[in-house]
A and B are shown apart, each in its own frame.
Chain A
Amino acid sequence: MPHASLALNTPTGDEVKTTTCYMCACRCGIRVHLKDGRVRYIDGNPQHPVNRGVICAKGSAGIKQHYSPARLGKPLLRVGERGSGEFREIEWEEALSLAAKWLGDIRKRNPDELAFFTGRDQSQALTGWWAQQFGTINYAAHGGFCSVNMAAAGMYTFGGSFWEFGEPDWELTRYLMLWGVAEDHDSNPIKLGLGKLKGRGAKIVAINPVRTGYGAIADEWVPINPGTDGLLAGAFIHELLRMDRIDLDYLVRYTNAHHLVIRDAGAADDGLIARDADGDALCAARTSGAGVHRLVKAKAIDIEPLVVGEYRLADGRIGVPAFHLLAERFLSNEYSPEAVSERCGVGVETIRRLAQELAEAAFDQAFELAQPWTDAFGRRHETMQARPLAMHAMRGISAHANGFHTCRTLHILQMLLGAIDAPGSFRYQPPYPKSSPPPNRPGKSRKDNGALDGGPLGYVQSPDDLLVDAAGAPRRLDKAYSWEFPLAAHGLMHSVIRNAWAGDPCRIDTLLMFMANMGWNSSMNVGETQRMLCDRDAATGEYRIPHIIYADAYASETVAFADLVLPDTTYLERHDCISMLDRPISDADCAADAIRQPVVAPDRDVRPFQDVLIDIGTRLGLPGLVNTDGSPRYPRGFAQYMVEHERAPGVGMLAGWRGSDGSKQGFGEPNPGQMARYIEHGCVWEAKVPDAGRYYKMANRDYLEWAKTLGFVGSTDAMVMQLYCETLQRFRLAAQGHGKTQPPERERARVARYFDPLPFWFASLQETSEEHRTYPLSAITQRPMFMYHSWGSQNAWLRQIAARNVLYLHPRIASRHGIADEDWIWVVSPLARIRVQAKLHSATAPGTVWTWNAIGKRKGAWKLSGDAPESRDGFLLNHLISELLPTTDHAHRYANADPVTGQAAWFDLRVRIESDPEPRVPGHRIEPGTKDAVQ
């Protein structure tokens, strides 16, 4: 009996606007359907290159984020004690003048007294530039906490990296190996790609201590002990070398495998690449006579380079090809399957078989792609050699103290298989590849106008680029680019609050945070971190961190610790720029950038943070934000900046539709109609890579010429992958007493050890301590797909999927401790113990316990009720993670981080579990430990 009236042709809304999603870092294109001025429906934009019309759970739940009751409504000024959450509402003028007063005083006194840290905001092209104009070196974003090891290891090794700088060849790969990939970066493109691979019958292998999401659909799950991926990858390299299943031609064409490394122990250039008078790297090459070689420029073509042996240099010293050194290292028994098996938790036979499978995929399933191309040296080739073996890696690799070297090991494994930017392999996404490392160094000193001489973040090339004082001590608050963390390309967000509190290495006046929930899940040792935010100087009675300004759209945990709260809009209420200067959204076949446009007007007294930042900067008269007469350069805020700002002549935030008539891309004068053109095109711009330039981008003239026209590369010279990383050796030499910039005595041994130009594996930095043996389990986190990178799981729909987390552990481990499913137990680290509910999970490696991250909330935050499961039952593992390593011989405590990059090593966490006398009584609790309290 049909409906009396069934309306089947009702329009979705009365208007559709396109914009870019902001529910995670994936940045999909969305269509927002509006009805009566309200958001009725959000779906994926079928024309958008990132998501091709699909949308994830977070994206669809964006409507609830937009209308969340946790949205802030007006600027707030603290009236109670810090942390109490007592504020009074103030007008914007008062808020902005107060901020400008604090910051203005700092800028006159010492700009470095401003520490400006942002979250996963994707606005770094603006915020980093702003910090540079302000003149503070103390700026960074979320990367140091998240995945700088992936970015830095990739950029120093092959001028690209996983996630935003590259992707598997979803169309052609026959074998995909996922390392430490949870349900994360990047969300929808990986899912679309996995669907394609499964449909095509490609094999997928997931190496991960936990099998969830992507691992669940993989052909094979390899449960590995956390932090041992570098060892497993090293064993794969061992096996490939042993079986002679490597692509040596690829190595000499595209990497520095044949470059001669000077062997002259004790010399100032020991371990550097031998160079000729022009500064060009040398190699030994075969000549026509048997057994005869000559030294030639390594970049020469049509030569026959030698990759093993010892060769006499012109000055009589010995040079050894980089490959020779690499092979020596990884052929050693240290990396044999038998040697690594137990530690990795992976059987010897499995290691051998997987190594063979990698070789079979790369070599036995190889084919020639019928695509003519011209290499960087002008030689035409009729086909492209395919290597249908791809890898993707993410945070499981990154968040360990050995993550930088592990990630380098993975890239070198791919190089040995000829599987970087070959058809079927990992592929660069424009504007990558860049030279390795890229030329932009971090700014060090201030110009006459107060601005830094470079962006606050960049890539150091040698010890001379470090931000250290005359005594070699750190200059930056977070100790990035110091001898403690020399290649800290994304800063160390996790050290900021502690260091500011301790005045180590310096005091600051104001901590300005944007979307960085550093009072909660973007810090380790959360309880102490919150205490530090509220702590007062005993002598003066003033807060040890004098001013805290926080910008957020929502009442997140950190809001309660701010003195001044600047309420941001939701992502549907503002302009944004997904710029090629920041974190691009390109795919391997298309360069792309995008915008957000406001699709609804705010119904609260809130302002986009980008506009606020420009407003404050204008009040301060920052260079670039005011005209010569002092008038505002961008009175219409960020929307105007996006279009009119030029970083260099012709180069702006957006690459599309430049030039006065919109006919140019990449370079071109600002186009007043640019924004309109983006909106006409679904808020996204794309430039397709020419067919002949789709692979071997690092040495493909068809690609490089195209990339140069867009400003992605400065020259069309081939880029050389760093199998052997000479930059690292420069630091090691300094530690050994060479050069004008040398580490303080305390740091020498540490730098010498970790700045190995070839990757190596080392155990967690905590593992040598006594405590380690008392804590036999690894504890890690993963993000559920429906909340991955989502800014707040208070979302009314998403929290119905999971409003609390549990601790997953293998049934065998549970049984050993007499723990039954759903018992409440204690998880104990040296720092604290937390009471959590256990859930037995056979798809967890027995040596690991884990939980979903970032579901646990602080009571009272996010406008959740006091008895919300997020705070009542849910928990953060961060409470157990120390932000510092145990004391060293020098009574010094380093940050709990990778010694090369400063990446937070939160996956190095070791714990033990204890039963509770009343396992069936629910309730989460945190109890501080007796050790490691704030010192």
Chain B
Amino acid sequence: MTSLPAPSTRKLGLVIDLDICVGCHACAVACKEWNDGGAFGPLPDADPYGAEPHGVWFNRVHTYEISGIGNRESGIEKAGAARKSPCASSIPHSPLPIPAATQSVHFPRSCLHCETPACVTVCPTGASYKRAEDGIVLVDEDKCIGCQLCAWACPYGAREFSAKRGVMQKCTLCVDRIYNETLEPHDRQPACVKACPTRARHFGDLGDENSDVSKLVAERGGYALMPELGYQPVNRYLPPRPRRDASQLKPTIHPEPSDETPMPPLLRWIDRVLSR
């Protein structure tokens, strides 16, 4: 019951490269650390040294073993087909591209800063809102009553309820970093992006087709998560590149085994002229 602003031209978001994500959780912990002490913190932990440690995380990494689908149309190809329109690629009913062969995929999950986020429109108090200037979806904790309707509305599981604080918390795209004039310009990026050790995470304006992130999405067939649900996620995932394993290689011809030659194999080197 909160209205959305007019669509912004600036659409800040993340591009996450599933081809090189090794599932190390660096992004998740860097996010936790920054935000725990940042403008939207703390991110409380319950039972931190006990039987069931759990807490609020804006970013979580999941690992899947995905069975390949053989010759059927794969998600990779599907994503690749959508290159002309980086915001419209579609992989129905799967958050993950389906590879040709079995693969282990690490999948970082956080708020996608949708263009038409149900978590905002469902909010009874206006606590959840989408920023007109850059599209970031935020929660104003002063207005949040902890009703959790937004968590029910979000199909991506991006919202985290803090029982301890009685409010809903979520990824802010590090809004308190990216505009922060007290930081050096190169540090004005989300903590997860700065931390990522394989540099699988990219941040930028997906509304600008000339931005680095938009070009990356175009080049690599970046896709949105479950676009058929209609919320128009801004974040993009880059699918794993096709693997050059045995199935992708052309058959090679083996040289004749040396034991079929009459000469003892070592002798072939006897006349070799070497230079030192």
Residues of A within 8 A of B (CB): 1-4, 6-12, 35, 40-44, 46, 51, 53-61, 63, 69, 183, 187-188, 191-192, 194-195, 198-199, 203, 211-221, 241-244, 248-249, 252-253, 258, 286, 300-309, 323-324, 327-328, 331, 349-350, 352-353, 356, 785-786, 794, 796-801, 803, 841-843, 863-865, 867-869, 872
Contact = CB atoms under 8 A, between A and B. Distances in A.
Given A55-B26, A60-B33, A331 B266 contact: yes
A192 B104 contact: no
B198 interface: yes
Given A10-B180, A868-B51, A248 B274 contact: yes
Contacts of B19: 198, 217
A199 B219 CA distance: 12
Contact of A799 (B53, B186, B272): B53
A913 B251 CA distance: 40
Contact of A41 (B26, B37, B103, B255): B37
A800 B55 contact: yes
A842 B195 CA distance: 30
A868 B49 contact: yes
17 contacts: A2-B131, A4-B140, A41-B34, A54-B199, A60-B29, A69-B49, A191-B24, A216-B106, A242-B265, A243-B254, A303-B275, A304-B273, A308-B267, A308-B269, A353-B252, A786-B26, A868-B49
Interface in B27-75: 28-30, 32-34, 37-39, 45, 48-55, 57, 63, 65, 67
Given A213-B23, A217-B19, A869-B51, A188 B270 contact: no
A56 B33 CA distance: 12
A802 to B, nearest CB: 9
Contacts, number: 254
Interface in B191-218: 191, 194-200
Contact of A843 (B48, B55, B65, B176): B65
B176 to A, nearest CB: 6
A786 B45 contact: no
Given A1-B140, A306-B274, 8 more contacts: A9-B180, A54-B196, A57-B30, A183-B22, A221-B245, A249-B274, A798-B29, A843-B65
B25 A786 contact: yes
A323 B23 CA distance: 43
Nearest to A863: B49
Interface residues of B, number: 83
Contacts of B85: none
B54 A800 contact: yes
A642 B266 CA distance: 55
Given A219-B244, A868-B51, A309 B270 contact: yes
B186 A46 contact: yes
Contacts of B50: 864-865, 867-868
Contacts of B140: 1-4
Given A54-B195, A248-B269, A308-B267, A42 B22 contact: no
Nearest to B265: A331
Interface in B218-276: 240-241, 243-246, 249, 252, 254-255, 257-258, 265-270, 272-276
B29 A57 contact: yes
B170 to A, nearest CB: 14
Given A192-B197, A308-B270, A63 B54 contact: no
A46 to B, nearest CB: 6
A59 B195 CA distance: 10
Contact of B258 (A53, A199, A220, A242): A242
B275 A304 contact: yes
B62 to A, nearest CB: 11
A523 to B, nearest CB: 25
Contacts of A12: 182-183
A51 B194 CA distance: 11
Interface of B: 2, 19-26, 28-30, 32-34, 37-39, 45, 48-55, 57, 63, 65, 67, 102-106, 126, 129, 131, 138, 140, 142-143, 175-176, 179-183, 186-187, 191, 194-200, 240-241, 243-246, 249, 252, 254-255, 257-258, 265-270, 272-276
Contacts of A286: 273
A58 B24 CA distance: 10
Contacts of B37: 35, 40-41
A166 B265 CA distance: 34
Nearest to A242: B258
Given A2-B129, A303-B276, A863-B49, A786 B20 contact: no
B194 A44 contact: yes
Contacts of A217: 19-22, 198, 240
A216 B103 contact: yes
A254 B131 CA distance: 63
Nearest to B141: A3
B221 to A, nearest CB: 15
Nearest to A216: B104
Interface centre among B32, B179, B258, by most chain A C-beta atoms within 10 angstroms, is B32
A800 B20 contact: no
Q: Which 5 residue pairs of A and B lie closest in terms of their CB atoms, listed nearest first?
A: A191-B197, A216-B104, A195-B198, A785-B24, A796-B48
B197 A796 contact: no
Given A8-B179, A61-B33, A198 B269 contact: no
A1 B274 contact: no
A9 B182 contact: yes
A54 B24 contact: no
B39 A304 contact: no
Contacts of A53: 194
Contacts of A198: 19-20, 198, 241
Contacts of A244: 258, 268-269
Given A217-B22, A785-B23, A799-B53, A60 B195 contact: yes
Contacts of B241: 198
Contact of A10 (B28, B176, B270): B176
B150 to A, nearest CB: 14
Contacts of A216: 22-23, 63, 103-106
Contacts of A58: 29
B265 A212 contact: no
B102 A843 contact: yes
A252 B106 CA distance: 45
Contact of A8 (B25, B175, B246, B272): B175
Contact of A1 (B2, B67, B255): B2
Nearest to A1: B126
A307 B246 contact: no
Given A51-B197, A57-B29, A307 B272 contact: yes
B246 to A, nearest CB: 6
A622 to B, nearest CB: 40
A220 B199 contact: no
B137 to A, nearest CB: 12
A800 B273 CA distance: 63
A600 to B, nearest CB: 15
A301 to B, nearest CB: 6
A336 B18 CA distance: 38
A352 B50 CA distance: 52
B53 A842 contact: no
Given A304-B273, A843-B65, A213 B25 contact: no
A53 B183 CA distance: 14
A195 B200 contact: yes
A211 B63 CA distance: 12
A302 B276 contact: yes
Given A9-B182, A215-B104, A324 B266 contact: yes
A66 to B, nearest CB: 12
B59 to A, nearest CB: 11
Contacts of A57: 24-26, 28-30
Given A212-B104, A869-B51, A243 B22 contact: no
